A and B are shown apart, each in its own frame.
Chain A
Amino acid sequence: MTTVALILSILLGTASLAIGYGQAGAMEYARWFLLLAGVWTFAHFRKWYGFSSIALILVIAAAAYGVWLEYPAAWMLLGAVGGLLGWDLSDFSRRLSAASPMDDTRTMEIRHLERVGIVAALGLGLALLSVFLRFERLAFEVAVGLLLLAALGLTRLVVGLRKY
């Protein structure tokens, strides 16, 4: 289950970057992202877990470069989130590989995927909001209210997650 999610994450990260770069006309870079996806997957199956950190740095750097060149921000953000998910799941696979066959890893996998899915969705949502929502003028009271609401919401979320 984790392996499938990992491959999907890698594909999400690299394909998003490739599409974003492709849409901006930089097709030559897109091929490199697909190659990165292949190498990352290969490294995972060879249990070279350290490669996922390199891959994450490469994906974030590529996304940052895309943002700098004003390529479509949504694809860049999706690429970064995909890279982050891939990096997390690769390390989770490494930790799972230390379990004994009789351990209940399936439940742990489900719980981890749920948690990391929430984190990714939250991170992506916040990032997309920050990109697409623009307020030309915001009253001070509204800004403070929003800030308090965000803090309260985040606290509730954390408390909820800890109970879960």
Chain B
Amino acid sequence: MSRSLLLSLLTYVLLLAGIATVHGGFLALALPLVTYLLLGFLQSADEVRLEARRQLSIERAIPGQDVDVTVTVTNHGSGLEEVLLEDQVPHGLTIRSGHNRHLVRLPSGESYTFTYTVSGPRGGYAFEALEAQVNEHLAVRSAMVRVEVKGWLFILPPLTRVRQIAIRPRRTRVYAGTIPARAGGPGTEFFGVREYQPGDSPHSINWHASARHADKLYANEYQQERVADVGIVLDGRQRTNEFARGHSIFDYSVQAAASIADALLNQGNRVGLLLYSTYLGWTLPGYGRIQREKILHALANAKTGDSQVFGDLEHIPTRLFPPESQIVFVSPLVEEDLKPLIQLRATGYDVLVVSPNPVHFELSYLPGSNPNVDLAGRVLHMERILLLQRLQRANIHVLDWDVKEPFDLLVKRRLGRTPVWMRSMRR
């Protein structure tokens, strides 16, 4: 019950009692209440007009990084005796220092500024509004005002810089890039020998081959390097990512997807992202920095989910990816994924599987001294090795990532392109 209602009820009861009993004492008792109510109403603000401004020290952060939120509230209406300001902190963010709620007096035309620090896990956080509860001194009338102040804070997945990722899809795009295009032309890597054509550089003449033929010259041909279409599929299925005791390997998958997308976009490729979870989250393919931002934002909001439809990989919409392009599948993998992945490979896509190792991940937090855990770990490990071998036999490149190892080191070791001078030494 509101304060004014309670006082009004008591006042009316006393007044009615006074009238009914023709006793002045009841009216006298009602007088302090009437005075209180009257002064309360007269003191209440004529017009509540608040304006708020919110500034974030940074709008893109990494998980756990402190972000300062500064809120300035200006009163453009009549003076307010007692205002409880509360900035609505998005769910998931934690206040590290300072306070988002302040009780202040705001005379007309004056401002009040407060700062607090938040941090949180990966995600996109929308700051919506600031709420102000306005009271006069006696709080007879109370008004709740919601001041809209929109703002976004993106806590992006930690990005491990990967310099080079060597992929070789069957089909490339027409623009020059770094992916070997399986076609002769200008490039750096030797592709073959053909008859010398007028206009060819004399430096390209293969003197060894030409020496065997008295009347003809032969020239070296190099492999063209172009950009490619790459589709990154991030597996967000709950059953593959979530483990006992609330542990999740999904953040590692997100980190891997972010690093791969960043590296491939830096190489000039056209990259799209498909989040395969409760729903299909599709980020249209694109080039460059804007696409990188789009993908990072999509990854920031990526969550695991459970779905009857997307419980297995049968429903990966392959039509989203250009034929014979490169698909990077980021997933901890389960046994049932083998068949759909082989089918994907069979339809002509070049498939690279980046798989954060769930067995090592689970064993890292389970008690190591328990023989049952050891045995189960060994069995699971063998099963996983078998699964990966079967994938490799289907000509699918698999990157088994023990998440204790930095991702960039693994990529450099397994997917980094060997410099040309080193390749020539090997030959």
Contact = CB atoms under 8 A, between A and B. Distances in A.
Interface of A: 53, 56-57, 60, 63-64, 67-68, 73, 76-77, 80-81, 84, 88, 91-92, 95-96, 98-105, 107-108, 111-112, 115-116, 119-120, 122-124, 126-128, 130-131, 154, 158, 161-162
A91 B42 contact: no
* Interface pairs A-B: 6 shortest CB-CB: A123-B32, A100-B99, A99-B103, A67-B25, A123-B35, A127-B31
Contact of A73 (B25, B35, B84, B101): B25
Interface in B121-146: 135, 137-139
Interface in B1-53: 1, 3, 6, 10, 14, 17, 21, 23-29, 31-36, 38-39, 42-43
B84 A95 contact: yes
Contact of B29 (A64, A88, A108, A158): A64
Given A73-B25, A116-B137, A64 B17 contact: yes
A49 to B, nearest CB: 11
Nearest to B104: A103
A81 B38 CA distance: 15
B23 A112 contact: no
B77 to A, nearest CB: 14
A76 B24 CA distance: 13
Nearest to A81: B32
A131 B25 contact: yes
29 contacts: A63-B29, A64-B29, A67-B23, A68-B17, A68-B26, A80-B33, A88-B139, A91-B139, A95-B103, A95-B135, A98-B84, A99-B84, A99-B102, A99-B103, A102-B99, A105-B103, A111-B137, A119-B39, A122-B39, A123-B32, A123-B33, A123-B34, A123-B35, A123-B36, A127-B32, A130-B27, A130-B28, A161-B43, A162-B42
A131 B17 CA distance: 16
B105 interface: yes
Chain A at the B interface: SS class? helix
Contacts of B84: 95, 98-99
B3 A91 contact: yes
A64 B14 contact: yes
Contacts of B25: 67-68, 73, 76, 131
A37 B92 CA distance: 44
Contact of B103 (A63, A98, A128): A98
Contacts of A80: 29, 32-33
B82 interface: yes
Contact of A84 (B24, B33, B102, B105): B33
Interface of B: 1, 3, 6, 10, 14, 17, 21, 23-29, 31-36, 38-39, 42-43, 81-82, 84, 99, 101-105, 135, 137-139
A154 B38 CA distance: 10
Q: Which among B10, B29, B105 has the greatest number of chain A C-beta atoms within 10 A?
A: B29
B145 to A, nearest CB: 16
Given A68-B23, A162-B43, A126 B82 contact: no
Nearest to B36: A119
B72 to A, nearest CB: 16
A101 B31 CA distance: 37
Contacts of A128: 28
A96 B99 CA distance: 14
Contacts of A96: 103
B28 A131 contact: yes
Given A91-B139, A98-B84, A108-B82, A122 B29 contact: no
Contacts of B99: 100-102
Nearest to A131: B28
Nearest to A163: B79
B98 to A, nearest CB: 8
Contacts of B17: 64, 68
B41 to A, nearest CB: 10
A64 B24 CA distance: 11
Nearest to A88: B138
B82 A103 contact: no
Given A60-B10, A108-B105, A67 B29 contact: yes
B279 to A, nearest CB: 40
B24 A122 contact: no
A73 B223 CA distance: 108
A158 B285 CA distance: 68
A91 B24 CA distance: 30
A90 to B, nearest CB: 11
